[in-house]
């Protein structure tokens, strides 16, 4: 377990979010699957009513749009203040080259560095912690984008994945000043548990197996079972308590929880385990589905735009998923 506490003030402008315009409701989904059940059954089973899927858009397109939305909404924003771009994704435009330079070029951010970061469902929070660490070493701000296109890697014969995942992106600027900022980062935490590496995976396409024996091997596969569910739930619960302990806080100090939107049952079970009121837990899975590493940033953006936040409130970010990676952070509303 790696705990990080900024030795100087770190602030967050945003995040903003973007979803592609094409909406797939459950009735449309079932037609694609060629099965005859009611759409309401899908919502009851996985908690998703609609999800947004790309048509011709790519991972970088979503990140670019989320960032443009952020720039437009930020007062007195200046591109020249950005010195680095970190793009969190496991669904880049290509296996090579990385997608962050595409974002850099399209946004007209000249003379800046850029790199991709792959942390699956923990992507946004992992990128946030990395951005904060690197911001302490430079006098320039950092653009953080988390973008995932899951719809291109789904098997229409696999209900569990085909019904659950959506596409989307979130974007934020990490800075040292509270001016125009929305949040202050109090601390972050990263954990890896490689024993559950293949909990969520795409078997083929990497250096271990470049070419699958079938198209399905290039699609997302999720393992099922009560043991896996309980282990994932317990991991998120224990990691949440640990970061609060490291920051000398308790759940009583937390006003809002923004968890990764794995599925609605997991979100509800986590809130129950934490003994935290559901009306203080973000729930975006119903309208956006599981957007993997982008979901926490999108959820935080959704909460920010709800105008329910008050200065001084503390927010717990919780994420876990593919690769056995988990990431947590605690923010304070500016």
Active-site positions read: 121, 260, 290
CA distances from residue 184 to 8, 106, 128, 179, 314 in whole angstroms, order as listed? 11, 29, 12, 11, 9
Q: Could you tell me which residues come within 8 angstroms of residue 215 by beta carbon, excluding any fewer than 6 positions away? A: 155
Coil, helix or strand at residue 221: strand
Q: Could you tell me which residues come within 8 angstroms of residue 1 by beta carbon, excluding any fewer than 6 positions away? A: 189, 190, 191, 239, 242
Contact (Cβ atoms closer than 8 angstroms) between residue 127 and residue 176: no
Of 114, 108, 156, nearest in space to 131 by CA: 114
The H-or-E segment that residue 67 falls in is helix 59-73
Q: Could you tell me which residues come within 8 angstroms of residue 127 by beta carbon, excluding any fewer than 6 positions away? A: 86, 87, 88, 117, 119, 144, 145, 146
């Amino acid at each position: 377990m790696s705990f990080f506490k900024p030795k100087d003030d770190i602030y967050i402008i945003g995040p903003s979010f973007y979803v592609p315009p094409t909406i797939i409701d459950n009735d449309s989904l079932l037609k694609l699957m060629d099965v005859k059940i009611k759409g309401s059954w899908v919502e009851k089973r996985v908690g998703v009513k609609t999800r947004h899927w790309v048509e011709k858009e790519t991972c970088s397109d979503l990140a670019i749009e989320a960032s443009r939305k952020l720039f437009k909404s930020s007062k007195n924003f200046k591109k020249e203040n950005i010195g680095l771009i970190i793009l969190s994704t496991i669904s880049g435009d290509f296996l090579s080259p990385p997608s962050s330079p595409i974002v850099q070029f399209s946004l007209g951010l000249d003379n800046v560095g850029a790199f991709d970061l792959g942390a699956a469902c923990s992507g946004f929070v992992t990128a946030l912690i990395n951005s904060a660490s690197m911001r302490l070493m430079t006098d320039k701000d950092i653009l953080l984008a988390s973008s995932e296109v899951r719809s291109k890697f789904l098997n229409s014969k696999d209900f569990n994945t085909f019904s659950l995942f959506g596409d989307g992106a979130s974007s934020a600027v990490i800075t040292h000043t509270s001016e125009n900022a929305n949040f202050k980062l109090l601390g972050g935490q990263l954990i890896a548990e490689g024993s559950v590496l293949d909990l969520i995976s795409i078997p083929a396409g990497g250096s271990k197996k470049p070419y699958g024996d079938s198209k399905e091997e290039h699609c997302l596969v999720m393992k099922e079972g009560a043991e896996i569910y309980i282990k994932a739930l317990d991991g998120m619960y224990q990691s949440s308590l640990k970061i609060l302990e490291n920051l000398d806080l308790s759940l009583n100090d937390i006003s809002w929880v923004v968890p990764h939107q794995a599925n609605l049952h997991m979100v509800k079970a986590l809130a129950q385990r934490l003994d935290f009121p559901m009306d203080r837990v973000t729930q975006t899975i119903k309208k956006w589905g599981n957007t993997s590493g982008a979901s926490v940033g999108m959820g935080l953006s959704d909460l920010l735009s709800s105008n329910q936040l008050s200065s001084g409130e503390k927010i717990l970010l919780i994420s876990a998923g593919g690769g056995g990676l988990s990431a947590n952070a605690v923010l304070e509303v500016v």
